[in-house]
């Protein structure tokens, strides 16, 4: 497939997601306390992670979540395979990820501290979902894993911080499917009123989430990327 063809296909995918968003927006946002599942969006300056309560995840829907049996919370991120796994990526890796479709990975972190304590310098937004919306999002995350012929997805490398692992994803990273767009698609699948086409940057993502979520911690001044020394 030529670069032009890839561009056209990617553009059509974006347009389709925008049409889809208009059909399910707010259908799965929680409207009463009894059916609420709380998730958190954590900004790391260049991308945002989704934090879930492990106890809320159905056992049969996302098997990889069971790789962290002692964790109260799981943080999930997705991105370019080479860029994401490099603690201090150089410009060349970033350019390659944007200009050419590349393999991708999921980054999953298990932890037990309060979310604000584990990420003390990050902007954190709380979002409430209905049970149905939450399960749709979990299925979206589970489907992002690459599975071998036996239907198994195994860790491929230790993660960047804490109790974390990288998993190979079956999706492709490109200009119209960035790490922030992937996160936006997860929220869209849950029924949140978000437009993935406007989430190329983390601020484009977080600014939309602020409109339907509650900011529980503001971003501290400092480096744009997550300070990995906080987890040593």
Say if residues 229 and 160 touch (Cβ distance below 8 Å).
Answer: no
CB 120 within 8 A of CB 220: yes
Supply 208's token pair.
């939309």
What is the CA angle 129-71-63, rounded to 5?
A: 70
CA distance 108 to 166: 7
For residue 46, list its beta bridge partners.
none
What is the sign, positive or negative, of the torsion defined by CA atoms of 183, 189, 190, 196?
positive
**pLDDT tens, the chain, 232 aa long:** 444 344 433 443 444 444 444 344 555 555 555 568 999 999 998 889 999 999 999 988 999 999 999 999 999 999 999 888 887 765 666 665 566 789 999 999 999 999 999 999 999 999 999 999 999 999 999 999 999 988 889 999 999 999 999 999 999 998 888 999 999 999 999 999 999 999 989 999 999 999 999 999 998 876 555 666 566 5
d(CA 187, CA 93): 27
């Amino acid at each position: 497939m030529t670069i032009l063809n890839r561009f056209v296909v990617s553009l059509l995918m974006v347009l389709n997601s925008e049409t889809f968003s208009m059909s399910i927006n707010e259908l799965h946002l929680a409207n009463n306390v009894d059916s609420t599942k709380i998730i958190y969006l954590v900004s790391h300056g260049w991308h945002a992670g989704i934090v879930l309560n492990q106890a809320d995840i159905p056992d049969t829907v996302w098997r990889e979540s069971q790789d962290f049996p002692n964790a109260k919370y799981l943080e999930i991120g997705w991105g370019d395979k080479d860029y994401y796994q490099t603690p201090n990526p150089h410009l060349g890796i970033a350019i390659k990820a944007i200009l050419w479709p590349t393999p991708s990975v999921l980054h999953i972190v298990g932890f037990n501290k309060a979310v604000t304590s584990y990420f003390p310098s990050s902007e954190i937004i709380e979002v409430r979902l209905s049970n149905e919306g939450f399960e749709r999002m979990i299925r979206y995350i589970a489907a992002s894993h690459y599975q071998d012929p036996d239907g198994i997805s195994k860790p491929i490398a230790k993660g960047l911080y804490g109790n974390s692992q990288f998993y190979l994803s079956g999706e492709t990273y490109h200009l119209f499917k960035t790490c922030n767009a992937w996160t936006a698609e997860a929220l869209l699948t849950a029924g949140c009123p978000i437009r993935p086409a406007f989430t190329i940057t983390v601020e484009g993502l977080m600014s939309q989430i602020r409109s339907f979520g509650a900011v529980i911690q503001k971003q501290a001044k400092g480096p744009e990327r997550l300070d990995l020394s906080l987890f040593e």
